[in-house]
């Protein structure tokens, strides 16, 4: 198991949810934190609270769709700490609705730019430093939607499948350079994420029946476990592995289940 003491950890999307909770758990391990997101007020409050507990952290505002912001964040982190040991690529947004209702600007273009292109651009900005160090760990936040693609989240799933492909390819590329790359694939969890995904009737009715969600703290703690014991991927909860294996082995059956679901939910609109 790796000790995380004094490791420099850069977290994107640290102003709420998994990113914020992971910041606390990394701080408790003695890590030095670089926290980024757009809501600088929330980041600064988090930094103050971590410092009050004896931790070390700085906040850097960054819109992940802005190349200059990304470059500035990576350079500031290196200027301050001299290295980046762990990158937790976590920022993301979602949209839950029939694809014909997705807006081209926000639900397709922006969503892909934040969830996939942003994640790749941040990695590209940080990677040269890790290569120079000859070490580093990149932890990419995908989703179970990056393993199986159900109805209502076509754009989101596309972005998270992309994040998985990027994660797997990069892992195979940089392993000889001493850099580890992990993918995180959580199921639904209780964060602010759900507040920004729209309010389609179909999703609302599904949520009424199946509202099982993990806590944000639980997911964040597992991310820190991956930093301590690096591995290729983490699917949480574990039984989603069975669901995704079933989808791979019996795609026609999953298509049929999704057909029944979509047919019944289309009637609600
Ligand atoms: P939150 O909404 O709580 O957090 C999302 C974070 O992303 C915020 O810190 C937000 O910061 C940041 N973010 C969004 N847009 C941008 C942007 N343009 N530039 C920079 N930062 C941005 O949701 P979660 O904690 O749940 O989500 C974190 C990750 O986990 C996402 O990638 C999500 O897809 C993934 N995930 C979530 C699941 C869930 O059920 N909650 C399940 C599986 C995966 P700010 O607004 O301040 O910029």
Q: Examine the residue annotation and report whether 81 is marked as an active-site residue of this protein.
A: no
Torsions phi, psi of 71, nearest 5? -60, -45
- Domains in the chain: boundaries: 8-266
Give the model confidence (pLDDT) of 167-222 as tens digits: 999 999 999 999 999 999 999 999 999 889 888 887 777 777 677 789 999 999 99
Cβ(143) – ligand 1 distance below 6 Å: yes
- Greater pLDDT, 246 or 265: 246
How many angstroms is it from 178 CA to the middle of ligand 1?
Answer: 28
Q: How confident is the model at residue 268 (pLDDT cuts 50, 70, 90)?
A: low
Give the model confidence (pLDDT) of 120-168 as tens digits: 999 999 999 999 999 999 999 999 999 999 999 999 999 999 999 999 9
What is the structure's pLDDT at 209? 67
Provide CB contacts within 8 A for 104, sequence distance 6+: none
The residue contributing the CA closest to ligand 1 atom 41 is: 189
The pLDDT > 70 percentage for the chain reads 98
Domain 8-266: CATH architecture, name and number where available: 3-Layer(aba) Sandwich (3.40)
Cβ(191) – ligand 1 distance below 6 Å: yes
Cβ(18) – ligand 1 distance below 6 Å: yes
Beta partners for residue 60, in sequence order: 36
The residue contributing the CA closest to ligand 1 atom 23 is: 193
pLDDT at 267 over 80: no
Cβ(121) – ligand 1 distance below 6 Å: no
The whole-model pTM stands at 0.96
Cβ(92) – ligand 1 distance below 6 Å: yes
What is the structure's pLDDT at 179? 98
Q: Residue 95: which region, alpha, beta or left (left: phi > 0; alpha: psi -120 to 50)?
A: beta
Per the CB < 8 A criterion, the answer to whether 94 and 196 are in contact is yes
Q: Encoding tokens for residue 244?
A: 């995704």
Give the model confidence (pLDDT) of 61-118 as tens digits: 999 999 999 999 999 999 999 999 999 999 999 999 999 999 999 999 999 999 999 9
Determine which one of 81, 156, 185, 203 is catalytic: 156
């Amino acid at each position: 198991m790796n000790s995380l003491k004094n490791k420099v950890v850069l977290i994107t999307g640290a102003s709420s949810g998994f990113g914020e909770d992971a910041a606390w758990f990394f701080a408790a391990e003695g890590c030095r934190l670089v926290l980024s997101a757009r809501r600088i007020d929330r980041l600064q409050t988090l930094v103050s609270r971590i410092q009050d507990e004896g931790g070390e952290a700085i906040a850097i505002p960054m819109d992940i769709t802005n190349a200059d912001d990304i470059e500035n964040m990576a350079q500031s982190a290196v200027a301050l700490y001299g290295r980046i040991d762990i990158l937790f690529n976590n920022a993301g947004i979602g949209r839950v609705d029939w694809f014909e209702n997705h807006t081209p600007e926000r639900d397709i273009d922006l969503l892909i730019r934040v969830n996939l292109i942003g994640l790749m651009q941040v990695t590209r900005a940080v990677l040269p430093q890790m290569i120079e160090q000859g070490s580093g760990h990149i932890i990419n936040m995908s989703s179970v939607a990056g393993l199986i693609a159900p109805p209502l989240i076509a754009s989101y799933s596309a972005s998270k499948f992309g994040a998985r492909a990027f994660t797997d390819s990069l892992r195979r590329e940089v392993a000889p350079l001493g850099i580890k790359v992990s993918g995180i694939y959580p199921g639904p969890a209780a964060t602010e994420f759900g507040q920004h995904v729209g309010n389609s009737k179909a999703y609302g009715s599904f949520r009424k029946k199946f509202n099982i969600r993990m806590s944000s703290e639980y997911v964040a703690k597992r991310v820190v476990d991956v930093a301590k014991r690096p591995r290729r991927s983490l699917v949480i909860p574990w039984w989603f592995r069975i669901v995704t294996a079933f989808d791979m082995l019996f795609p026609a059956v999953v298509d049929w289940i999704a057909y029944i679901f979509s047919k019944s939910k289309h009637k609600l609109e």
